[in-house]
A and B are shown apart, each in its own frame.
Chain A
């Protein structure tokens, strides 16, 4: 049995890559194993945990639910490795997660960071309830979430400080967005268990 292979081009963190993949290759596997970008993690492979979240054209997407060949149709992918500024300065979300002790094992963290980066870009002044809502599509088994919620608020605060209070939302990781960021992750399929 020989599987048909496709040559694809992906622009990841601003760098063009090529890969030869079968049609079924998940974007998460392609990033991790074909391109060696292992910062994107896989916690479930069925679209629930959000650990694999990356930004596709600026929008959070679960890379375990997207095929690499489909990702190649898009312009630009940002993974956790691409959040920091080119000079290595951490993204405000990366700084905030450390300051707020918003990670323990760190396995879920890349998915939260990409999500929060896009969220704060689009929502520069969230309140606590907004912040909680923003991260409610991703699972963390370690922290109990409170410090992650705090980190969302702190990300917004750092971003505002960096922008000098000019009210310009932080531009990284992508200038391209349609204001609907977050929807892609919030729509994780769940069975209803009578949750409040």
Chain B
């Protein structure tokens, strides 16, 4: 047997190409394509009186200008509501090009096609649009007040309304010996991948291979779903599915925004390519990405909680107001996720959650990494801290009193999750998670550290936040595995990659299944020509769904290979095993056949092309004249296809702890340590998982301390550039100390859970708690900037912000965590070391980023 690849921190196979500058991202393709540019609304609310393109006509290189008037059939209908849900009261989705009204700044009004992008933008700048400007609705307050509505023909701005309840939560809160009420607020941010969106399409004239006397469309898109774009474009352009191929090239980050489909541009570009018979490409620029893609996060929350004297929740009653922007193309996934994932690792007693999803005159809101969970965790974890403060208990102790125990798994929360299936946690060890985070950050030792810091005139604080994340939802993903006569193994899955290293981890899985070298396995993602059945990359589902699917597909291939090998070796299939690229009689390498030879035998040939195929031709070897060349019930080729359709989500979990220092004068906030305990089930590639965690934490820190969408009351986004939207550099992001737990999921053949989003989820909650702890007053609104902290201090001094009591110093961590845990400046404990052990190629990571 070769070394097991599953669990090994192998280097990514994607990297050699990417570091050489040989990546192929959307804008790297289509050198000969003409360019599209869009005229976008400068107003958040307006009626279009007239569009005049006369001035654009003289622009050299102009090919065409299109407006809504040019569209017909399904193209003239609104874009689809992708995920319908009974809670949606009035679903509004945009048109491919605005029809009469615009509802946010940045909405596409006209499309220009020209020989190159410079000419297209010149022409776009000369198109005069006459707007009758209306008044915008910006922010949750204005949306609730409904003095005016975002959309014509609506009485208010409520897009959706949903109540979920388990038990009588309001009565439970009222009857509880203790109760609290919290008002919380989270602002807008956005995934903001470094590569924006982009679409490139070409129309191929009809031939016998296109299957109709219409042609065939090839679309390249920087998307998180190839099959979704294919189906959506086919529906809009009234093409058969078989006439549309979607290929997803290298994608420069997605973080959720690229799961939305079809974007207006994603149908307009193929439409124009077909209409013009020319290749057309559109590459989004940075400002467009800010005003015409998608944002997330903005929510207002009211929490009422009732609890006993040990801090155990008896009832939890939550009201959410969710800003969904101008349209609702992705349905209500985000507020549903908040409503359900808010519960985290805890038992709430009776639970009631009600949300209203509200239209505002701003960019649409769709899932951004974490997808509603950061807000839910913020609500729950702020509540946990408030309970602890109310009772004078340690914050981890209160959490320990509320977590679900391992012997209660699987645990049914009694709600319906975002995939329409029951919210039943599959596995997890939450008490151990609390112990581990206490050890890793040295929770018990912090009081002493704080005292020392105080004596030096420094303010420091510690915060913790836990989460449970439903990952790997269905309906399914597929895998196709094929062994070629060269012995190379080709794997395909339909979902797409945006940097998660699917090419590496899926190869690891297949290499193990077939016992072949990793370097012999090649993986294709996101190409409808290779795998037509797929859903897409979102909700941390790649490893769970596609990982399981390729494992199952490889197993099918193995069954077939065993049948062929048994014939060739004249042995019983049950006596055979896979070993180092061969099939051999168990324990007897001399009686073996190469997998490549099995591939040759699997596909009887008439023609010889090389020595391998010559061995499979009609006159080679001994034929059995009583059987057809391909046995009955078999198909030619050594390949297998299978699908993984999970019963429910797998539930990953973790806890983050942050230590911050706040400057007594300037109110600057600096992260001294950031610790993560992370359980995503069995680890396929710890290096990649840690990369996902580090990147997620960076986005979490960004959302907690730096990033926001600064809309003015007219609906203008004031910081629509990377100069003004403070995406952190290396100077702002702490190094992250990670400790892994591996609680396998019983719901898939690999025992894995998703890992892509986890890092971002509890960051705002943990940092709010740490800042609160440093400052001694309640923090109930994120993000928080130094000027906001300064303002909070002022208001606190004036009595406007409640104090938090001095926190008790815990004698030990919950359930007796190690007493010898390190001080914040000492190296992390053994449990925190990456499981691959020290990597000699990497310098040691310090446990704290000490102030410079």
Contact = CB atoms under 8 A, between A and B. Distances in A.
Interface in B244-302: 250-253, 255, 285-286
A149 B730 contact: yes
Contact of A136 (B60, B253, B698, B729): B729
Nearest to A2: B60
A132 B697 contact: no
Most buried by B among A40, A106, A132: A106
Contact of A46 (B19, B723, B846): B723
Given A135-B730, A196-B670, A48 B195 contact: no
B669 A99 contact: no
Contacts of A103: 15, 18-19, 499
A39 B668 CA distance: 38
A154 interface: yes
B19 A44 contact: no
Interface string B10-27: 011011101111111101
B194 A105 contact: yes
Nearest to B9: A101
A84 B786 CA distance: 44
A177 interface: no
B722 interface: yes
A62 interface: no
Interface string A38-63: 11111111101101000000000000
A95 to B, nearest CB: 8
Most buried by A among B191, B695, B759: B695
Given A33-B31, A109-B18, A41 B721 contact: no
A104 B369 CA distance: 15
A193 B191 CA distance: 19
B575 interface: no
A41 B19 contact: no
Given A104-B500, A139-B194, A79 B21 contact: yes
Nearest to A33: B31
Interface string A108-150: 1110010000000000000011001101111111111111111
Interface in B181-206: 191-195
Determine the main DSSP class of B at the interface with A.
loop
B489 interface: no
B723 A190 contact: yes
A1 B21 CA distance: 36
A140 B253 CA distance: 10
B727 A99 contact: no
A65 interface: no
B732 interface: yes
Interface stretch (B428-436, B629-637, B686-694): B686-694
Given A104-B500, A146-B694, A154-B841, A139 B252 contact: no
A87 interface: no
Determine the main DSSP class of A at the interface with B.
loop
B692 to A, nearest CB: 8
B286 A45 contact: yes
Interface in B1-49: 11-12, 14-16, 18-25, 27-28, 31
Contacts of A135: 729-730
Contacts of A108: 194, 252
Contact of B253 (A97, A105, A133, A194): A105
B695 to A, nearest CB: 5
A31 to B, nearest CB: 11
A37 B724 CA distance: 30
A48 B722 contact: yes
A6 interface: no
Given A1-B58, A142-B499, A109 B727 contact: no
Contact of B698 (A83, A143, A149, A154): A143
A91 to B, nearest CB: 8
Given A41-B195, A48-B723, A101-B688, A80 B729 contact: no
A24 interface: yes
B130 to A, nearest CB: 24
Most buried by B among A45, A189, A193: A193
Given A104-B499, A143-B698, A193 B842 contact: no
A101 B687 contact: yes
A29 B117 CA distance: 10
Interface string B726-756: 1101111101100000000000000000000
B668 A142 contact: no
Interface of B: 11-12, 14-16, 18-25, 27-28, 31, 58-60, 116-118, 122, 191-195, 250-253, 255, 285-286, 498-501, 668-670, 687-688, 690-691, 694-699, 706, 721-724, 726-727, 729-733, 735-736, 759, 785-787, 841-843, 845-846, 852
B733 A105 contact: no
A106 B250 contact: yes
11 contacts: A25-B118, A39-B23, A41-B194, A81-B21, A99-B842, A104-B695, A105-B498, A107-B25, A107-B253, A135-B729, A141-B255
A178 interface: no
B842 A150 contact: yes
A98 B733 contact: no
Nearest to A105: B499
Contacts of A42: 27
A181 interface: no
Given A32-B27, A106-B18, A144 B723 contact: no
A195 B732 contact: yes
A43 B195 contact: yes
A153 B840 CA distance: 12
Given A1-B60, A41-B25, A46-B722, A145 B730 contact: yes
B706 A195 contact: yes
A146 B20 contact: no
A119 to B, nearest CB: 13
Contact of A144 (B21, B669, B698, B706): B698
B843 A48 contact: no
Nearest to A194: B786
Q: Please give me the 6 A-B residue pairs with the lowest Cβ-Cβ distance, nearest first.
A: A39-B21, A107-B252, A105-B499, A106-B18, A104-B499, A144-B694
Contacts of B118: 22, 24-25
Contacts of B787: 194
A128 B694 contact: no
Interface string A17-29: 0000010110001
Given A101-B687, A189-B723, A141 B192 contact: yes
B670 A145 contact: no
B758 to A, nearest CB: 13
Contact of A104 (B22, B60, B501): B501
Contacts of B60: 1-3
A112 B759 CA distance: 23
Contact of B699 (A39, A141, A189): A141
Contacts of B499: 103-106, 142
Contacts of A145: 694, 698, 729-730, 733
A67 B652 CA distance: 49
A140 to B, nearest CB: 7
A49 B688 contact: no
A142 B852 CA distance: 25
Nearest to A81: B21
Given A141-B699, A144-B694, A194-B668, A80 B251 contact: no
Contacts of B501: 104
Contacts of B732: 195-196
A105 B722 contact: no
Contacts of B28: 32, 38
Given A1-B58, A32-B27, A44 B286 contact: yes
A113 B16 CA distance: 13
A94 B20 contact: yes
A20 B118 CA distance: 15
